[in-house]
A and B are shown apart, each in its own frame.
Chain A
């Protein structure tokens, strides 16, 4: 199990394996995947990583803003530079949130629903 999921940057806390997601009483999953690897959501500690493209942009813009503001902190260019930093940080945060939800198993099963790992059983 660990081998196939090693590409994910997640750490799952040691917990008895559950087949049903019963952590949320109000969600009603009518079908379950009988693959024990998909432990319930709350046992995963996700290490959030920003996609490198945006992360680079953020650090560059910070350096740029610090340089521009070294001359004159009140100038329009300085303010605009810090605004750019803010905008890119927000974009980075959104990108992290988007990636957080992605489950490699679900992604794989979207493309290959007929494989053994992706068989579903209706209750």
Chain B
């Protein structure tokens, strides 16, 4: 993507000091410019090749809501994200007008048979090609197209590569976006979805119980078997994330183990350049807020918010927490009107986005709310970065 400006150059023979950028010079013939008394007018279109892609990383275990998050995120930017047209139907990539989402499973170095032979899971770094991941993300960030391999989840094989054009916003989602240090440095913003064990179990039951062959024992065995690798390789990434969405069982219902009502914490890193954390009432103070009362009636178990500064893996963070669920539209709009620093473009934007996708899982609790808010924050981050680069280019052009 390039930002281009058109301006007239008085004469082509005059030395242009900013010709280090790629420029296109249109030279119109004298006949067309009779009005200019035969003077040859030249128009220079200069494009800065520096407008690089913004890269976002999203890490989570399988079955933890990455796809839902992706759909919400691409919806905030506008346009529906779809698999590349005319390509492999089992492609994991999603492309919309502004965003391209790449699934990091495509960088598996071992396919399913290979992993079975070696006895490693997909969570193990040995099964992934981090060099290729780094190379390709770097190339896309610099504005070059790449040939990305495709990992077919149905067959478990590595399919022939597909061409990915550099987008305005590149999202890499998977198990290891922040594992490799080089890839981590390329990320402009990173998110980790931290689902607690009880909630993960409840979600996987919901997902798999209808599946023929699955039983409670098999689901449990599957989670237990993957846990050592998960704790060793995936979980440590959360200390590098700029935002962590932590999902825990509710504290409002004593002894609840259904996992329907959730307590969700949005842990936001402080001191980042383009990211200002969402807060409640007063930034930096500790607040506990139950919106249900005289102005708002909620049904059981209600909603409870907390906000405050904390330390997370020796980083300064601000944590916004929501426990409970939304039952009605006015609860949502009431809550939105009391949150600050949402980076929304108009009053009610968060509510509108939530309503747009009311059939997505998590639309009535903190998971959907915080995912939507993070989506708006990423949009704000993107716009800040683009404005910064445009200002830098304008500065360079003036010189």
Interface size grouping (class) on chain B: 35 or more
- Complex CA gap A95/B229 in Å reads 26
For chains A and B in complex, what number of residue pairs have CB atoms within 8 angstroms? 107
- Complex CA gap A54/B208 in Å reads 13
Given contacts A76-B118, A83-B225, contact A58 B153 (CB under 8 A): no
For A41-81 the 0/1 string (1 means CB < 8 A from B) is 10000001010011101111011011001000101111111
B116/A80 in contact, CB under 8 A:
yes
Contact for A86 among B62, B116, B210, B352, CB less than 8 A: B62
A94/B229 in contact, CB under 8 A:
no
Given contacts A69-B221, A85-B218, contact A90 B153 (CB under 8 A): yes
A22, chain B: closest CB distance, angstroms: 13
- Complex CA gap A25/B348 in Å reads 13
Which residues on the A side are within 8 Å of B62 (C-beta)?
86-87, 90
Given contacts A82-B225, A85-B222, contact A92 B211 (CB under 8 A): yes
A66/B218 in contact, CB under 8 A:
yes
Contact for A27 among B218, B222, B229, B356, CB less than 8 A: B356
A121 on interface, CB distance cutoff 8 Å: no
Which residues on the A side are within 8 Å of B121 (C-beta)?
79-80, 83
Which residues on the B side are within 8 Å of A77 (C-beta)?
116, 119
The residue among B67, B119, B122, B213 with the most chain A CB atoms within 10 A of its own CB is B213
- Complex CA gap A47/B373 in Å reads 32
Query: Could you tell me which B residues sit within 8 Å of A by CB distance?
Result: 62-63, 67, 112, 115-116, 118-123, 153-154, 156, 204, 207-208, 210-214, 218, 221-222, 225-226, 228-229, 352, 355-356, 358-359
Query: Could you tell me which A residues sit within 8 Å of B by CB distance?
Result: 24-27, 41, 48, 50, 53-55, 57-60, 62-63, 65-66, 69, 73, 75-95, 97
Q: 14 A-B Cβ contacts within 8 A?
A: A57-B154, A58-B211, A58-B213, A62-B218, A79-B225, A79-B229, A83-B222, A86-B62, A86-B222, A86-B226, A88-B153, A89-B63, A92-B211, A93-B207
